[in-house]
Structure 1
């Protein structure tokens, strides 16, 4: 079984599109009928995220942590206990491509670090900041970006690396560093595609939204 892990904190505006995309990827014919379990881990949600998730054929867990590393760790353990051989991570403000899972698995690595494409720049986002982002971002194979919105790990490598640490931010970066220390094979690929939002209201302090905000402040 393959698991798709999605942490959620107050994502009512974007969660429906995220789950639509994840379920399409889960039914891709290239998976040859292998079961895929989509897991939503709702963390301290006070909006309608839970109700939105209930409308989809996905599993749901609820925690009160306000800590994305803890949330990803809880979700990964749940999927491993269900027999997942591979865990694909994305974010609730992102939409994975239909062949996302197929593209990750085709790389034959212990872990896959994919790139992200910004969907639509937020209204008022400084064009100069957009240029700075595009100049710095490596949308190609061999990049060195790490995104929780586009990350895949085999069950064995995940366990050997010790799993997600309960960090409020950069839990994905820490996991990849631990994977490297364990000697895991990592594919730094532009093939698995994910579209993510350009919102500046970051759910995790120090995350992608704060990075985009820093580009604005540099103007």
Structure 2
């Protein structure tokens, strides 16, 4: 028997959490159709939420954990620990799939990761694309021109990151960081010599907002690119 644990940190995501959980629920159902014996759990970690995110989350077939850490690293770490404690499978047969509450995953998001697990991969770096409707036309065109299907760059995104549970444990797990917790985990995993692969087959779609929930997350990256592309005077030296 093998298992998959989906972990999603959430802080005040009432506008987007429903779309996220709808897509994750569909991906879990699709994986179970293909593999009836698959054990799966979805854990949403509600971190210091002051809006309706908790109420909306509980409408879905997921586990919830409430914390007040205001730290995405802590939220992911607690979520993984909670998920693994509920699964009755060996760590080497358990896959951890991470995403974010402002992200929509494709139907084959889990099945593709399990295929990589079957191929001996321990760490999977998935690609992320922004919601183009949230961007300017120039920004969206730039993204399309610089991202080519079949050539994943191997960037680290907590919104699309998968890892074998035994390797996760050996790497020390996700550290309690308010940002770049995903990068720290990947660095520790690489130090172990784990088998790694980058893939855009299971690419996810993340909000194109410029104000995110972490200081240096995907939203901050999009804002920097936007300033550089659409407001060149602000990006110029000395501006």
Query: Shorter-chain TM-score category?
Result: over 0.9
In structure 2, what is the Cα distance between the partners aligned to 1:142 and 1:196?
16
Normalized per residue, the structure richer in helix is 2
Structure-2 change in CA distance of 1:62 and 1:177 (3 Å):
same
Residue of 181, 193, 212 corresponding to 1:171: 181
Residue 135 of structure 1: how far off its partner (Å): 4.3
How far apart are residue 131 of structure 1 and its match?
3.9
Q: Equivalent residue for 1:180? A: 190
Larger Rg: 2
How many residues of Structure 1 are paired with residues of Structure 2 in the alignment?
A: 217
Offset of residue 215 of structure 1 = 1.3
CA contact (8 A) 1:141 1:191 kept: no
1:117 to 125, 129, 135: 129
Q: Which residue of 2 aligns with 1:144?
A: 154
- Residue 52 of structure 2 aligns with which residue? 48
CA distance in 2, matches of 1:128, 1:194: 21
Decide which of 73, 79, 101 is 2:77's aligned counterpart: 73
Q: Report Cα offsets for 1:145-169 as digits up to 9, x if no partner.
A: 1111111111101001111011111
Name the stretch that deviates more: 23-32 or 85-94: 23-32
Is residue 70 of structure 2 the alignment partner of residue 63 of structure 1? no
- TM-score, normalized by length of structure 2? 0.86
Structure 2, gaps ≥5 residues long? 232-239
- The Cα of 1:35 is off from its aligned counterpart by 1.8
RMSD of the TM alignment (CA)?
1.6
Contact 1:117 1:196 in 2 (8 A): yes
Matched, 1:106 2:115: yes
Give how far 1:119 is off. 2.3
Q: Deviations over 1:60-89 (max 9, x none)?
A: 000001110011011111112223611100
- Relative to 1, partners in 2 of residues 1:172 and 1:23: Cα closer, same or farther, differing over 3 Å? same
The one-character-per-residue Cα deviations of 1:146-199 (angstroms, maximum 9, x if unpaired) are 111111111101001111011111111111111111111111111122111101
Q: What is the CA–CA distance in structure 1 between the aligned matches of 2:36 and 2:112, rounded to whole Å?
A: 14
Taking structure 1 as reference, are residues 14 and 180 closer, same or farther at Cα in structure 2, changes over 3 Å only?
A: same
Q: Shift of the alpha carbon at 1:129?
A: 3.1
Structure 1 unaligned spans of 5+: none
Contact 2:127 2:152 in 1 (8 A): no
